[in-house]
Amino acid sequence: MTEQELGITERKEHNPGEWYAEVVRKAGLADYAPMGGFIVTRPRGYAIWERLKRHLDGWFKETGVDNAYFPMFIPESYLEREKDIVEGFDPEVAWVTHGGREELDERLAVRPTSESIIAPFISQWVRSHRDLPMRVNQWCSVVRWEATETKPFFRTKEFLWQEGHTAHATHEDAWAETMTRLGQYERLYEEVMAIPGMKGRKPEHDKFPGAHTTTTIEALMPDGKSVQAGTSHHLGTSFAEAFDITYTDEEETERTAHTTSWGLSWRALGALIMTHSDDQGLVVPPALAPTQVVVVPIWQEDTETAVTEYAADLAAELDERFRVEYDDRDGRNPGFKFNEHELHGVPLRIEVGPNEVEEDGATLVHRPDGENETADRDGIADAVEDALETVYAKLYAAAEENLTENVREAHGRGEILGTIGRHGGYVKTGWCGDEACEAEIKDEIAAEIVMLPMDRDEEPIHETCGVCGEAAVETAYFAKSY
RNA sequence: GGGAUCGUGGGUUAGCUUGGCUAUACUCGCAGCCUUGGGUGCUGUGGACCCCGGUUCGAAUCCGGGCGAUCCCA
């Protein structure tokens, strides 16, 4: 009874939607805001976002990206300069029409994305080929007034993200940039979040408005749905033309630049929660956990002094290398503390009682599976380091297994529908390139083409389209998605 | 886009069919006591009927609308 009130009551396997909502609330990550579709990100949730951000931002800076900040409002006339952007985002733009009591002469869009406010400045800043490549990134929030249902972190009307915008001399340079950023997103997912991803292209009809190519990294959730985990767009020259981003080359000829943009949002948090967490609550890989290690002292009246001194000393030593919490709260028994730290997703728990003091050791317990190990007091920090690596490895292995077991091949309408319906996951099949063939699957089972192979010239796995039977031009990956 | 379920202290909830006294219980917070190998016990105390309108002598309960949440289908 008590357990049901404080902990997670829904089972991940039976009711993933409700389970997810419970983890988000009870692990203290977010609350619902008074306006539908908005959330309040609580310190525990924001701390994870900050760590994600720190990793990615570091890699950006190492690879020539500078941070900047642009206004959150975009004049309507700016937004209209690239017609695809207008059409693509029109239904979900929030507008500011008044400043105080005064109606504005020109209404202002709350940025749904910032190409149209950043590009005009890149245009001013780029004069010669020596100014290229030009790279700016901003960490900010954007607003998209989605009509669809919202879910904390996965889909909210306002969300936090980073958006990078670059200009390059050649198509090839821009392509290299696009792939560099996609690679960094993949690295973030794999190394930091312990989630394997698959890289690919979006089909024509699902590209970013106006883009030459939209690339994506997709991650598979345990309920069989795919998440677009990050995107990187080669924008070609359409934005440069619309916003006049030109440069003078070595021969003093004026040329149009090639631009890119790329973004990763707090949807990554949603994917993280959904992937690793369980019926006990949140599970977070060590690299992201606000608290990596919790030390819980366990004593009886006559052992109190010995145990607490030993445990406090141990915690202090570990604190030099890890993010450590020493949980010496009075009036809470160990069981309570264990449950609470499991709910909060602390990757490693260290139990210290009379037995450990006696043996000059410590008991290390892994969050993902409750596995115990004993470590010597000497060299405890190295043992903790190893244990944290083991925790990461366990999480990655489980996620990787889920992915590899859920990429299947199918051919023919019934087989595609049946395979997705029965197992979820990805189904690859030949595709003729016609959107209508995707629509046919989508209408039936709400699965769509989430990805095409990165290499345009790759031979399709089947000679004919899995839906209509015409000649296939490429391989399509169908999946249900968030 | 269509359908279903739901909204009561911070959390979980009883009461609603058949309108009626100070709105139930657990948990939680605070003060104090107790003390620890998987959600310990005791005392005191704090805190709620999603919003607007309607019916009525009287609405948490009935009716209408709105907002919000979850799930299923397209």
State the SS3 of chain A: CHHHHHCCCCCCCCCHHHHHHHHHHHCCCEEECCCCCCEEECHHHHHHHHHHHHHHHHHHHHCCCEECCCCCEEEHHHHCCCHHHHHHHHHHCEEEEEECCEEEEEEEEECCCCHHHHHHHHHHHCCEHHHCCEEEEEEEEEECCCCCCCECCCECCEEEEEEEEEEECCHHHHHHHHHHHHHHHHHHHHHHCCCCCEEEECCHHHCCCCCCEEEEEEEECCCCCEEEEEEEEEEECHHHHHHCCEEECCCCCEEECEEEEEEEECHHHHHHHHHHCECCECCCCCCCCCCCEEEEECCCHHHHHHHHHHHHHHHHHHCCCCCEEECCCCCCCHHHHHHHHHHHCCCEEEEECHHHHHHCEEEEEECCCCCEEEEECCCHHHHHHHHHHHHHHHHHHHHHHHHHCCEEECCCHHHHHHHHHHHCCEEEEEECCCHHHHHHHHHHHCEEEEEECCCCCCCCCCCECCCCCCECCEEEEEEEEC
- Final residue in a domain of this structure, among A228, A244, A276: A276
Domain count along chain A: 3
A232 φ, ψ (degrees, to nearest 5)? -140, 125
Residues A329 and A183 in one domain: no
Residues 321-350 of A with CB under 7 A from strand B: 328, 330-340, 342-343
Q: What backbone phi and psi angles, to 5 degrees, belong to A271? A: -65, -40
Residue A6: the pLDDT is 65
Asked if the model's pLDDT at residue A2 lies above 60, the reply is no
Confidence class of residue A3 from pLDDT cuts 50, 70 and 90?
very low
**Residue A286 placed within a domain:** no
Q: Are residues A185 and A261 in the same domain?
A: yes
Decide: CB of A298 under 7 A of nucleic strand B.
yes
CATH at residue A387: 3.40.50.800
Residue at A344 is within a domain:
yes
**Which residue, of A251, A276, A301, is where some domain finishes?**
A276
| Tens digits of residue pLDDT in A222-279 | 999 999 999 999 999 999 999 999 999 999 999 999 999 999 999 999 999 999 999 8
Distance of CA A429 to the CA centre of its chain: 27
Residues A300 and A418 in one domain: no
Kindly tell me if the per-residue pLDDT of A176 is higher than 60: yes
Distance in angstroms: CA A456, C1' B19: 70
pLDDT at A5 over 60: no
A305 is near strand B: CB distance < 7 Å: no
Same-domain check for residues A147 and A243: yes
Per-residue model confidence as pLDDT tens digits over A125-170: 999 999 999 999 999 999 998 777 778 999 899 999 999 999 999 9
Note the CA–C1' distance, A334 to B14, in angstroms: 32
Would A387 be classed as within a structural domain?
yes
Q: Based on the domain organization, do A119 and A220 belong to the same domain?
A: yes
For the stretch A13-70, pLDDT in tens is 877 888 888 889 888 898 888 778 888 898 889 999 999 999 999 999 999 999 999 9
In this complex, the answer to whether residue A230 has its CB under 7 A from any atom of chain B, a nucleic strand, is: no
A18 Cβ within 7 A of any nucleic strand B atom? yes
Check residue A82 and give its pLDDT: 84
- The whole-number average pLDDT for the span A286-291 is 95
Q: How far is the CA of A335 from the C1' of B38 (A)?
A: 4
The CA distance from A285 to A278, in Å, is 13
| Percent of chain A with pLDDT strictly greater than 70 | 99
B1 nearest neighbour residue (CA to C1'): A148
User: Gap from A55 CA to B64 C1', in Å?
Assistant: 54
- Nearest nucleotide (C1') to the CA of residue A332? B36
Distance CA A372, CA A79 (A): 57
The reply to whether A284 falls in a domain is no
Same domain as A269, residue A233: yes
Evaluate if the CB of A469 falls below 7 Å from strand B.
no
Percent of chain A past pLDDT 90, that is, above it, reads 76
Which of A161-165, A331-335, A406-410 has the least mean pLDDT?
A: A331-335
Whether the pLDDT of residue A221 is over 80: the answer is yes
* A89 and A219 together in one domain: yes
Question: Which 43-82 residues of chain A approach strand B with CB closer than 7 Å?
Answer: none
The CATH number covering residue A40 comes to 3.30.930.10
Phi then psi dihedrals of residue A98, to 5 deg: -130, 145
Give nucleotides in strand B with any atom < 7 A to a protein C-beta: 1, 11-12, 26-28, 33-41, 67-74
Q: Determine the pLDDT at residue A32.
A: 83
Q: Which among A338, A357, A391 is the end of a domain?
A: A391
Averaged pLDDT, A469-480: 95
Same domain, A28 and A100: yes
pLDDT of A309: 93
- Residue A1 pLDDT grade (very low, low, confident, very high; cuts 50, 70, 90): very low
Report pLDDT digits (tens) over A410-464. 999 999 999 998 899 999 999 999 999 999 999 888 899 999 999 999 999 999 9
A46: domain range?
A: 2-276
Interface predicted TM-score (ipTM) of this complex, two decimals: 0.82
Domain identity same for A189 and A228: yes
Let me know if residue A439 belongs to a domain.
Answer: yes
* Chain A 367-396, CB < 7 Å to strand B: 370
Predicted pLDDT of residue A330: 80
The C-alpha atoms of residue A434 and residue A471 are separated, in whole angstroms, by 11
Asked whether residue A127, judged by its CB, lies under 7 Å from any atom of the DNA or RNA strand B, the reply is: no
A15-CA/B53-C1' distance, Å: 37
Q: Centre a 10 Å sphere on the Cβ of residue A34 and count the other Cβ atoms it contains.
A: 6
**Do A300 and A272 have their domain in common?**
no
Residue A285 located in a structural domain: no
- Do A217 and A338 lie in one domain? The reply is no
Tell me, what CATH number does A433's domain have? 3.30.110.30
Q: Tell whether the model's pLDDT for residue A11 goes beyond 90.
A: no
In this complex, the nucleotide whose C1' atom is nearest to the CA atom of residue A351 is: B37
Q: Is the CB of A320 under 7 A from strand B?
A: no
- Residues A451 and A323 grouped into a single domain: no
